[in-house]
Amino acid sequence: MTTRTIMTLVAAAAVALTVGAALGGCGTTATPPAGSAASSQSVAQDHNQADIRFAQGMIPHHAQAIAMSRMAAQRAVSPQVKDLAARIQAAQQPEIDQMSGWLRAWHAPVPSVNSPMGGMGMMDHGAGGAMPGMMSGDQMQRFGQATGDAFDRMFLQMMITHHQGAVTMAKTELSEGQNPDARQLAQRIVDTQQREITEMQALLGG
């Protein structure tokens, strides 16, 4: 094989690699990320009124739990109660953000949770009135006035009731809701909050 023949073959191979890379690059940019479009369409389109009620009710419900947990994180005596309060805040604020995004995608009203009572403004209108486990204004006021071990006990007792209400709401979504993402969140709420109920009952018993 002559030197000229070898050089010709090398050049041809280089051209083939260049063309192949260019075609491969075009193919990559033409393919959208798997599942991204389907996921967006699922949130925006695949829902019913039960999904809307779930999100509109759970947002202020979560907001009140966060308000209670912020107080406990600052004022609780027990380190275990402080730790629980921090975990509740960390879990529920992203869920509020997630549900708010769904409601905007569904062109449904997003509840306001700016009340100092942590969602108390939603108790008597919107989301079907009072929600399971929500504390009244009087209860929140008494909670704010408690101190020491009495504060810790009140937080645990109130949060157990609050969590039980959230579990009830989430189970309604699981039985009546349609949106896959909303149903997935509902199941996570059931699992997480039932574990926390058991934890709080143990703290009260101790």
pLDDT in tens, 106-139: 999 999 887 545 555 444 434 434 789 999 999 9
Question: What three-state secondary structure class fits 24?
Answer: helix
d(CA 128, CA 122): 9
Q: How far apart are CA 26 and CA 1, in angstroms?
A: 37
Answer with the residue of higher pLDDT: 159 or 1.
159
Quote the longest CA-to-CA distance of the chain: 98
Quote the pLDDT of residue 173. Answer: 98
Q: Is there a domain that residue 83 lies in?
A: yes
Instruction: Write out the residue range of the structural domain in which residue 100 sits.
Output: 41-205
Q: Tell me if 50 sits within 8 A of 183, measured CB to CB.
A: no
25 within a domain of the structure (yes/no): no
Report the number of distinct structural domains present in the chain: 1
Q: What is the pTM for the complete model shown?
A: 0.74
Q: Is residue 33 part of a domain?
A: no
Confidence (pLDDT) at 128: 39
Rounded CA gap, 125 and 99, in Å? Answer: 19
Q: Report helix, strand or coil for 1.
A: coil
CATH number of the structural domain spanning residue 160 = 1.20.1260.10
**185 located within any domain:** yes
Q: What is the mean pLDDT of residues 190-195?
A: 98
Q: Which of 27-36, 55-64, 130-139, 140-149 has the lowest mean pLDDT?
A: 27-36
**Kind and range of the H or E element at 77?**
none
Query: For the residues 41-50, what does the mean pLDDT come to?
Result: 77
Angstrom distance (rounded) from CA 69 to CA 53: 24
> Residues 186-204: what's their mean pLDDT?
98
Give CA–CA dist 163/22, Å, rounded: 57
The pLDDT assigned to 19 comes to 37
The answer as to whether 66 is a domain residue is yes
Q: Is 14 left (phi over 0), alpha (psi -120 to 50) or beta?
A: alpha
Q: Whose structure tokens read 């009572």?
A: 117
Region 52-62 average pLDDT: 98
Q: What's the first-to-final CA gap in the chain, in angstroms?
A: 89
Pull the structure tokens for residue 136: 């009244």
Whether residue 32 is contained in a domain is answered as: no
In a domain, 22, yes or no: no
The DSSP secondary-structure symbol of 117 reads T
Looking at residue 113, its pLDDT comes to 80
